[in-house]
Amino acid sequence: MKKLLYLLGCLLPTAHCLLPTAKAQTAYEHISSTGIYHFLDEMTTEKLITLNTAVKPYPRTLIAEKLKQLTEKQDQLNKRQQAELSFYLREFYIELGVGLDLQSSPSDSSVGQVPIAIGMQSVPLKPYHQKNNHTLSILPPIYAFTSKPFSISFRPYGGGQGYANSKTTLYNSYWGGSFFLYGFKNLGIYANYRDAHQANEVLALPTYLTQSLGANYKLNEGNRPGGDYSEMRGGITATIKWFSLELIKDHIQWGNNYNGSNIYSGRTPSFAMIKMRAKPTKWFELNYFHGWLVSEEIDSARSYNPGTGFYRNVYRNKFIASNFITIGPIKGVALSFGNSIIYSDMNVQPAYFIPFLYYKPVDHTINHGIDNQNSQIFFDLSIRSLKHLHLFASLFIDEFSITRLSDKDRYNFYSYKAGFKVNNWPVKNISYAFEYTKTSALTYKHRVPSLTFETNKFNLGHYLGDNAQEFFATLGYKPLRTLAVNCSYTFAQKGIEHPYIEGPGTIPVDTHQPLDTITWQNQQISFNVTYEFAYNCKVDLTYTHSNTTSNAANSQTPDYYLQRYSPAFLHGRNNTFMLGLHFGF
């Protein structure tokens, strides 16, 4: 097994920077674990660690490495930050090396009691009930078993949220479980299953302009209003030193943001991919994946009647290849750039498995003389040169022509985001941020339905889609460990969704002025209090005052756009309360 994994690592250009204590093993912490992600972002802005925040999710071993680095800088943390560091260290005790490379035998009673020094203090890495190789915890719910060469952790979870305003009452509930397994110093395996029910009304449909995670709902099952869905994520990873090869089905998010990325948002249903990571030096990192998307476009040539009383529909195949290179030769500055291509109506193309290519010229060769596939390029800039301050900007280019720059009546297809966040200045434990996003018409779209920047009809990019803009501002206060109080303001607008149609008698697709007519608009102020009482176990309360309106356009009524872009209980002016309780995410 070791020789096989080593051979894979040598043959395939993949990578990942790993802990020497946790060996070369990778399992991902989902982006819904917002507590640890916000803490690491804050520590990066405080210039206490260096982290590529443009690429998520993070491997759990990477998170453990950064937490371990913070233990050496405990004197630079305030009281609340020290408490949060201790809180998160307890979660990542396996990744920190307990049970993987101890000098004592795994059956020794000292397993799990090994402390990490934090200044003049020490933090027990496994403060749960344990006996020999077994560990059991109620909060958070965990059963773990550690014995060379394996460490495995099982975690059941469940929870839900309730919403109420003057129109109606909604609730969603979920249950499921996950596990992580590390073995043979190079192998990582993880899986996560979720079964969920949304009562009365579904909050995440492909056309809805919300931040809710996308899912493939079965609507009104058993005549119950609402929907049900199940989601399975997981993967197998092989890592040798700074090389990593992964077969996973998961969510990804590329691009710095605090209210939704405009490159890969991570809010679509998860999809399968072969993923590669490389970080041979501190200042260079390559991320790549080749994914199998779901077009939901019927291929009539492959669909058929099997003669058993129904018609078998078959979707057109749809693939994506994408890379993202991050360089940081200047301390505190990280520039990321990459490209992607979505292709269909052909077999898997080996050229798109080369992780560092620019794929558009490759497409010109493969599809010479016929219609090309759909390619994109993107950039992300993150500046943390000054302590407490994070400046960031990202650019997604779907179609670009130099001739359009000199023609005021023609427009390129792009999306850009820019913003900043300040932590702990001028007052400790206070943060505030602002970001602006604008996306031109027809960005993320394509004239061929199976080549759109989507999977399962959910946009891979910004949650507002094309022809839209958003202003977002937030003020946060963290008085105690994992207790966060936030106030935010959002102003979002959506213009006409122009069809991507070319040919005689049609308007040129690059002449649609961005936001020429506003069809949908949302203004909202939210107050949120969240307390994470155990890792990934939290209670949160939110009050939102919102005003969602629409206008007639393209022979469509205002009600058409309200129903298309928003769930019914958010139409118009509302005061909505949300209460959530979660045991694992």
DSSP codes, 231-294: EEEEEEEEEETTEEEEEEEE--EES--SS--SSB-S-SPPEEEEEEEEEEETTEEEEEEEEE--
Position 184 scores a pLDDT of: 80
Kindly report, residue by residue over 551-572, the tens digit of the pLDDT: 999 999 999 999 999 999 999 9
Least confident range of 151-155, 313-317, 437-441: 151-155
Is the CB of residue 256 less than 8 Å from the CB of residue 287?
Answer: no
Written as one letter, the residue type at 43 is M
Position 505 scores a pLDDT of: 82
Residue length of the chain: 585
Position 144 scores a pLDDT of: 87
CA angle 449, 453, 454 (to 5 degrees): 80
pLDDT at 84 exceeding the cut of 90: yes
Is the CB of residue 565 less than 8 Å from the CB of residue 520?
Answer: yes
Position 147 scores a pLDDT of: 79
Kindly report, residue by residue over 268-298, the tens digit of the pLDDT: 999 999 999 999 999 999 999 999 999 999 9
pLDDT at 107 exceeding the cut of 70: no
Number of Cβ within 10 Å of residue 165's Cβ equals: 18
Give the pair of three-digit tokens for residue 448: 């061929």
pLDDT at 2 exceeding the cut of 80: no
Position 521 scores a pLDDT of: 98
pLDDT at 185 exceeding the cut of 70: yes
Sign of CA dihedral 68, 70, 73, 74: negative
pLDDT at 128 exceeding the cut of 70: no
State the chain's mean pLDDT as an integer.
89
Percentage helix, strand, coil for the chain under 3-state DSSP, each rounded to 5: 15, 45, 40
Kindly report, residue by residue over 10-69, the tens digit of the pLDDT: 433 333 332 333 346 789 999 999 999 999 999 999 999 999 999 999 999 999 999 999
Position 22 scores a pLDDT of: 39
**Three-state DSSP state, 438:** strand
pLDDT band at 129 (very low <50, low <70, confident <90, very high): low
H-helix or E-strand spanning residue 84: helix 79-91
CA distance 273 to 349: 14
CATH of segment(s) 2-583: 2.40.160.130
Least confident range of 135-149, 236-250, 414-428: 135-149
Task: Report the share of the chain in percent with pLDDT over 90.
Answer: 78
Q: What would the DSSP string read from start to end of 330-393? A: STTEEEEEEEEEEEESSPPPGGGG-TT--HHHHHHHHTTTS---EEEEEEEEEE--STTEEEEE
Name the DSSP letter for residue 45. H
Written as one letter, the residue type at 344 is S
Nearest to 441 by CA among 392, 383, 390, 496: 496
Kindly report, residue by residue over 463-476, the tens digit of the pLDDT: 999 999 999 999 99
**Mean pLDDT value across residues 501-527:** 93
Position 136 scores a pLDDT of: 85
Nearest to 390 by CA among 345, 354, 431: 431
User: Partners of 320 in the beta sheet?
Assistant: 291, 342
Pair type for strands 28-29 and 134-137? unpaired
pLDDT at 82 exceeding the cut of 60: yes
Position 582 scores a pLDDT of: 95
pLDDT band at 101 (very low <50, low <70, confident <90, very high): very low
Kindly report, residue by residue over 399-446, the tens digit of the pLDDT: 999 999 989 999 999 999 999 999 999 999 999 999 999 999 999 999
CA distance 510 to 525: 35
User: Partners of 292 in the beta sheet?
Assistant: 272, 319
Q: What would the DSSP string read from start to end of 206-249? A: TT--S-SPP---EETGGG-SEEEEEEEEEEEEEEETTEEEEEEE
Position 502 scores a pLDDT of: 87
User: Partners of 160 in the beta sheet?
Assistant: 173, 581
